[in-house]
Amino acid sequence: MQNESATAIAPDLPPEPEMWRAFTERDAGYDGVFFTAVRTTGIFCRTTCPARKPLRGNIEFFGTAADALFAGYRPCKRCRPMEASGDAPGWLRGVLETIERDPARRMRDADLRETGLDPARVRRWFKAHHGMTFHAYQRARRLGRALGQLSIGDDIVQTAYRNGFESLSGFNDAVRRLAGESPGRARGTTVVRLTRIPSPLGPMLAGATDDALVLLEFAERRMLETQLRRVARQLNAVLVPGETEITVRTADEMARYFAGELSAFSVPLATAGTPFQEDVWAELRTIPYGETRSYGEQARRIGRPEAVRAVARANGDNRIAVIIPCHRVIGSDGKLTGYGGGLWRKKRLLELERGEVELGLGPG
């Protein structure tokens, strides 16, 4: 293992104080972005590892699991850092597959125990990764499925019982809480399903209707809640956990992008912005892979050379990261400026597209 004097933070990692904060707070948004090795134990971990945190002087950071292995550390058996970032852990996959096969099924604590799982452990994982308990996640999935069925004209009573609701009044109350109106009035509500997808730069949150991708953001971005509210308002949508064919396709294309195998995306998008924002976002998609432009050049290209600051604001309001490549816009002096996912991510994305680094999807 490296000695203390040899410790160095690679330039493409987040700043060291930010990594220390993320590690001590078990910030899931940085899961897979970097790994923390403990000199006194010879073990390296994810940021989310539940093990007791060591003293600051006893740790060092690595950009990949491979780097930690080559430095002589062995993977932690509790947090399993060799598994891909953002993937569900192996012990939980059976439950998730059961829910996908039968979304109307209501798995209770007793059902979890029958599969050998501790309900408290499952609850903690869902709280950390979805911001809700396992049972709330199931309810939201059932509601989202029900709203989708109502939107195509299905009968309200049949929809309620088909999706595991034990009474029509309970179904009515649940729909009112989620959509703000009765099932009959909620027929025109758009359903956006949200799911996390893995990325070597940290988990991303993808949101899609049955027809288009409407959101793709790094999970710990500060503006994420604001972006979610904007999606709900502009699309008259309810947001529920779950996958669509669009999110599955997005995950596949993102994996190939990070592996250096894809330079142009084909997943359909729905951006829902002002006319000016739509112009800016459309122009962003004309920037060739591996190239950059300045904010001033972007403003000139949309016929608004005086609107450089407005162009920068529209870039910041982009809700579909990477696919709408706002990371390819830089300052007129060539410096990296303004990226909601963090300038260190912008730097790594540009390095990837220039062929200067290999990221891949796994942890190393």
Non-local CB neighbours of 136 within 8 Å, separated by 6+ positions = 126
Residue of 244, 248, 317, 249 whose CA lies nearest to 279: 317
**Cβ partners under 8 Å of residue 239, min gap 6:** 192, 194, 207, 228, 231, 232
What is the distance between the alpha carbons of residues 189 and 5, in angstroms, rounded to a whole number?
59
Helix (H/G/I), strand (E/B), else coil: 58: helix
Distance between CA atoms of 267 and 280, rounded to whole angstroms? 19
Looking from the CA of 254 toward its CB, the CA atoms found within 13 Å total: 31
Instruction: Please compute, for residue 280, the number of CA atoms within 13 A of its CA located in the half-sphere on the CB side.
Output: 29
Amino acid at 144: G
The residues with which 191 forms a beta bridge, in sequence order, are 238
- φ/ψ (deg, to 5) at 312: -60, -40
**Residue 123 contacts residue 165 (beta carbons within 8 Å):** no
The pair of structure tokens assigned to 176 is: 């009112």
Strands 237-241 and 293-294, sheet pairing: unpaired
Distance between CA 202 and CA 361 in Å, rounded? 10
CA distance 245 to 137: 20
Residues with catalytic roles: 326
DSSP characters for 240-303?
EE---HHHHHHHHHHHHHHTT--SS----B-----HHHHHHHHHHTTSPTT--EEHHHHHHHTT
